[in-house]
Amino acid sequence: MGGLSSPVGSLAMSVLEGVFLPTAKDAALASAGLVTSTSNLLVQQALSNDTSQANNAMQSLGANTLFGQVDGMCTISNSQGPILSGLPAIGVGNTGSGINEFTSMVAPDGSYQLVLPIGNSSITYNDMAISAYDTVSGQNLDSTVVDLSGINPNTPVIGPSLSGTCNDTDAGNPDGDDPDCD
């Protein structure tokens, strides 16, 4: 029918358009649903991989591993003010080689919480370094050595108050790693 150029061909095309157009729309909607479903499947698969990795990590710690918490405050002033500045990270580890072995982010209000396993033979609890650092550059903003040998699963240990300055000199002329402490 597509080869007809007479008025009969136009009439036939208008009738056929009425038949095929809704079908084309349904096919487009079905295709969009398939893409969304496939996308959701891939996201769920990625999350299940995260779950299995977390489970493997927990099993490597042992079923009876207990965790302790260190709570503290961190005040890092930033030349860009509170809106354009990034949040610093906080880390704890063995003084020297294991610094920032366990990490977290400082909350916008300046509080931090670190969680670390109790009874781990590779951790020297009486000689731990707690550090505030820039997450982009890795620059250490403040650090102090603490004794966490009294850490227990029932009561958080009060950690040190850390303070420092982040000077983001190129924020007005961004270099691709902003916000950071240059």
DSSP states of 69-104 = EEEEEEEEEETTHHHHSPPPEEEEEETTTTTTSEEE
3-12, 83-92, 167-176 — which is least confidently predicted? 3-12
**Three-class SS state of 136:** coil
Model pLDDT for residues 88-134, shown as the tens digit of each residue: 899 999 887 667 889 999 998 999 999 999 988 888 999 999 999 98
Q: Which two tokens stand for residue 146?
A: 């603490």
On whether the CB atoms of residues 149 and 126 are closer than 8 A, the answer is yes
Model pLDDT for residues 27-76, shown as the tens digit of each residue: 555 554 444 444 444 444 555 555 555 555 555 555 667 899 999 999 98
What's the whole-number mean pLDDT along residues 16-24? 55
What's the whole-number mean pLDDT along residues 132-148? 89
What's the whole-number mean pLDDT along residues 147-167? 91
Peptide bond into 179 cis (omega under 30): yes
Q: Report the candidate in 108, 59, 60, 102 with the shortest Cα–Cα distance to residue 81.
A: 108
On whether the CB atoms of residues 74 and 132 are closer than 8 A, the answer is yes
What pLDDT was estimated at residue 132?
92
With vertex at residue 74, the alpha carbon angle to CA 111 and CA 105, rounded to the nearest 5 degrees, is 60
